[in-house]
Every structure is written in C-alpha cells, then in structure tokens.
Amino acid sequence: MAEPVRVRLSGLKKAFGPKKVLDGLDLTIEKGTSIVILGRSGMGKSVLLKHMVGLLSPDAGKVEIDGEDLWKSPSGKRNNLRSRFGMAFQEGALFDSMNVGENIAFPLRRLTKLKPADIKKRVAECLELVHLPGIESKLPSELSGGMRRRVGFARAIAHQPEILLFDEPTTGLDPIMTDALVRVIDELKRRLDPTMVTITHDLKVAFSIADRVALLNNGRIVADLPPREFESSRDPLVAAFVRGDSQLDPDAVD
C-alpha cells in the first residue's frame, strides 16, 4: 500500500522582482520518505524549502500539508500545520540571546504543554541524540559551526515533529565534520523515522541519506529518482550534476 502524502507542492511559482525562482514546480513527498533536493547554488533550493513551512508565500500554486492548503487555512490553523515541521536552518539560526538549553526548549514551550521538568528532560535527550550531552548552559557564540548546526538539529527535533527539514546541513564544513553531521542525520532518520527533506549540493550527503534524490533546475524539479538510478541517469542535467561537468550543462555559465 502506498504511504499517504505529507507534502504536496503543485504549480508553485515565485519571483523576486524580474527573477523567476520557482516556475511551476510540482513535488510530492510521502510519509516516511527521505528526499534530498539537489541543485546548483542560487537555484532556489532554500526558497523551495521555505515554501513548505510557509516562511514564504507562493505567487501562484498550492502548498498542501497532509491534504490541507497552507495558505487557504486561517493563521491559527497555519501555525498548527507549521508545528508539524522541524526545521534545521543553514547556520543553525540559534537565538543568540538564549543559551543552548533555552534554544531547544523554545519549541517545547511554544508548541507543547510539557511541564518545566519534562522540558528539561527532553532537552537533555535531544542533545544526547546529536552527541552533545550536557552543553545546555553554553551560549551559541561559544560553539563551533558544526556544533551550532547540531544544536539546530536538536532544536528541530525537540517537539517531535513529523517532518524534518534540513537546509544545507553541511555547506561550508570540512569533510570530517560533514561526515559527522551526515551520521547524525542518518541516525535521526533511523531512530525517529520521520519524513525528511534535505537540500544540499553535496552528492555524498545526498546518497548517504536519501530514499529519493531530486534535482531542481530553473525553478522546476527536472529529475526525481532513487539514489542509484539518479547516479547512473543519462539525463544531461543530472549527468552534468553528478559528474560536476560544466560542459554537459547547457546553461552552466550564465
């Protein structure tokens, strides 16, 4: 039996001034799937992700979460739909006026009815999951880039959302740190079994955590395949991306 659809984007269009970033994009994500969206820098991957949680509203098209139209819902309902997501931002986006513990407690205080003692327990648990136990009282400014992102992961999973979003989780990190983060994501995937959307331009990351790999190009999804098929695809755009060959891509230099 096919899994129910969690996120459905249809005919999504978004332009910033004259620049069309999304141009009639369609994408369906089923429950429990881990999809990785690849795309070159500046192709609007983050814009796509921000449409899913309703951080940006589309110029045209629909965003449906569990069958409900995000932008046709009243704002209370919209917030309810948003709370089904846990988003890990590119550089962590930790609130720098709060320490690590307060950062992770934030979604718990806002979105759950947990008591302070239970919040404390859950915060410790989440830090454990990202292999950073006991750093509750540190400030974000005291952490390294990789640690900040892992705290961002912990904050994203704290309220036990059904859908996890990772915005460029490894961009700008060294290979060792990248591998460590991929392991953390993989472990979260195995232990929490969430629906997962990751955007990146790192193939290694994509192939280690994806059930499906999609390629975003000129505002549309041009390929959406299982990792093995993606890797061996003869589609010129996919092949250009996989091999990192600018000569295969018709509009590589614009």
Interface with other proteins (CB under 8 A) = 50, 53-55, 79-80, 82-83, 85, 87, 89-91, 93-97, 106-107, 110-111, 159
CB of 110 to other proteins, least distance (A): 5
- What is the Cα–Cα distance from 158 to 155, expressed in whole angstroms? 5
Q: Which residue has the tokens 């859908």?
A: 163
CA geometry: angle 242, 246, 247, nearest 5 deg:
110
CB closer to other proteins out of 12 and 163: 163
86 vs 219 by CB, closer to other proteins: 86
Choice between 97 and 247, CB closer to other proteins = 97
Q: Which one, 157 or 242, has the nearer CB to other proteins?
A: 157
Question: CB-wise, 96 or 174, nearer to other proteins?
Answer: 96
Contacts of 189 (CB under 8 A, 6+ apart): 34, 196, 209
Burial class (CB in 10 A: 0-12, 13-18, 19+), 200: buried
Min CB(137)–other proteins separation in Å = 18
Q: Which two tokens stand for residue 35?
A: 């999809």
Give the other-Cβ count within 10 Å of 251's Cβ. Answer: 8
Do the beta carbons of residue 63 and residue 11 sit within 8 Å?
no
The Cα–Cα gap between 168 and 17 comes to 25
Q: What is the closest distance, in whole angstroms, from the C-beta atom of residue 241 to other proteins in the complex?
A: 26
